[in-house]
């Protein structure tokens, strides 16, 4: 059994980790930390976990995380970088669901996240945990930087086109919508029901902190810098990411075949038949990314539609997918849930 610790078990990604790991046949959850909820039964705070999680939240100082095989950080940015080094020295593998280790240029990270990095030496070692690109590196990693929700949907959408070299990488557009759970489990005016319901808005147009992460990933694939315009939007639903991606083709290609071949062996990427349009509800509660590719009016513009659940493939599910790879388990173990409908 894999002994698991979770730091930050009271946020949306933390409870999603608990929901998925509770039924994982190879996992024993040893500790769940929360300074604010120390001593509280997990099932009292999250009643959906009654009968599945029989633990209390513990203070991080008392959690004995160094006795775990792997520790997930489901914490705000800036927490994992304070604790990762000591855990790694104790032989514990670390999977960070926040952004502390995603961006390799530490100066760039500090600019976007507004704080000094606590352990820049580990940034170079961290493996960016998008399995569809870095599966082999994930296998032997000690430290995983789990991708963000927006970056997962955008990179998986653009990936086959960039790998095939059939688009102009100097003109990429990502128009992406997210449900309000992407903002986290906290009290902020803009995500109050009266503010977010019956409303639709863009934000972060001058620059969003996921932009450098996406550009880094796509540039690594292209082996040269890409130019990306990224515009996120908030929509009045709880879960879901819908990415509408645009690029200019530089040569004629069978786009449907390109996508089907690229993802034919990927358990968590589903390429829809030609002409279809994926819906966010078709992936709700699952680790699946559904993709459709279109070429409107047979023009030189390609439109890719990519949908995920931001809390699963965009966070907790992908983190467990990485854990499975790291420990030599079947990649789908414990995260092969059928999406929820209606």
DSSP assignments along 116-175, one per residue: --S-HHHHTT-EE--HHHHHHHHHT-SEEEPPPHHHHHHHHHHHHHHHHT-EEEEEEEEE
- Strand-pairing partners, residue 303, are 246, 294
**Sign of the alpha-carbon dihedral angle for 85, 105, 78, 21:** negative
Q: What is the CA radius of gyration of the chain?
A: 20
Catalytic residue among 68, 119, 149, 289: 149
Q: Report H helices in the chain.
A: 12-21, 42-45, 80-89, 106-113, 120-123, 131-139, 149-164, 193-196, 211-222, 255-262, 317-326
Do the strands 228-234 and 201-202 form a parallel or antiparallel pair, or are they unpaired?
antiparallel
Helix pair angle (131-139, 211-222), 10° resolution? 80
Tokens of 267: 């358990």
Q: Count other Cβ atoms within 10 Å, centred on residue 30.
A: 20
Q: How far apart are CA 203 and CA 232, in angstroms?
A: 6
Annotated catalytic, 149?
Answer: yes
Q: How far, rounded to the nearest angstrom, does the alpha carbon of residue 156 sit from its chain's CA centroid?
A: 11
DSSP assignments along 229-265, one per residue: EEEEEE-SSSS-EEEEEEEEESS---HHHHHHHHTTT
> 20 exposed, middle or buried (CB, 10 Å; 0-12, 13-18, 19+)?
buried
> Which residues are CB-neighbours of 86 under 8 A, at least 6 positions away?
66
Q: DSSP 3-state assignment of 5?
A: strand
Q: How far apart are CA 144 and CA 233, in angstroms?
A: 27
Q: Where in the sequence numbering do the catalytic residues fall?
A: 149
């Amino acid at each position: 059994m894999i002994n698991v610790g979770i730091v930050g078990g009271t946020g949306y990604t933390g409870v999603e980790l608990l929901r998925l790991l509770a039924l994982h046949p190879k996992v024993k959850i040893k500790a769940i930390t929360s300074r604010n909820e120390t001593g509280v039964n997990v099932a009292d705070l999250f009643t959906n976990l009654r009968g599945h999680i029989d633990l209390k939240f513990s203070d991080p100082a008392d959690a004995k995380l160094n006795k775990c095989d792997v520790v997930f950080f489901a914490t705000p940015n800036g927490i994992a970088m304070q604790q990762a080094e000591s855990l790694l020295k104790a032989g514990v593998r670390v999977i960070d669901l926040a952004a502390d280790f995603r961006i390799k240029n530490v100066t760039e990270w500090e600019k976007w996240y507004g704080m000094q990095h606590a352990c820049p030496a580990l940034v170079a070692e961290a493996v960016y945990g998008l399995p569809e690109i870095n599966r082999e590196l994930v296998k032997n990693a000690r430290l995983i930087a789990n991708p963000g929700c927006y970056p997962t949907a955008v990179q998986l959408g653009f990936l086959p086109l960039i790998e095939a070299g059939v688009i102009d990488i100097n003109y990429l557009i990502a128009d992406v919508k997210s449900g309000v759970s992407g903002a986290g489990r906290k009290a902020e005016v803009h995500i109050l029901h009266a503010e977010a319901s019956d409303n639709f808005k863009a934000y972060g147009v001058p620059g969003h902190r996921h932009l450098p992460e996406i550009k880094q990933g796509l540039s690594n694939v292209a082996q040269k810098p890409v130019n990306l315009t990224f515009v996120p939007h908030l929509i009045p639903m709880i879960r879901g990411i819908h990415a509408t991606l645009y690029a200019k083709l530089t040569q004629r290609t069978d786009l449907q075949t390109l996508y089907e071949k690229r993802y034919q062996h990927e358990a968590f990427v589903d390429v829809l038949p030609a002409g279809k349009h994926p819906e966010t509800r078709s992936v709700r509660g699952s680790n699946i990314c559904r993709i459709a590719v279109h070429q409107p009016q047979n023009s030189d513009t390609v439109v890719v539609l990519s949908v995920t659940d931001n809390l699963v493939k965009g966070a907790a599910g992908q983190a467990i997918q990485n854990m499975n790879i790291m420990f030599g388990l079947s990649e789908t173990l414990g995260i092969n849930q059928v999406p929820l409908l209606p």
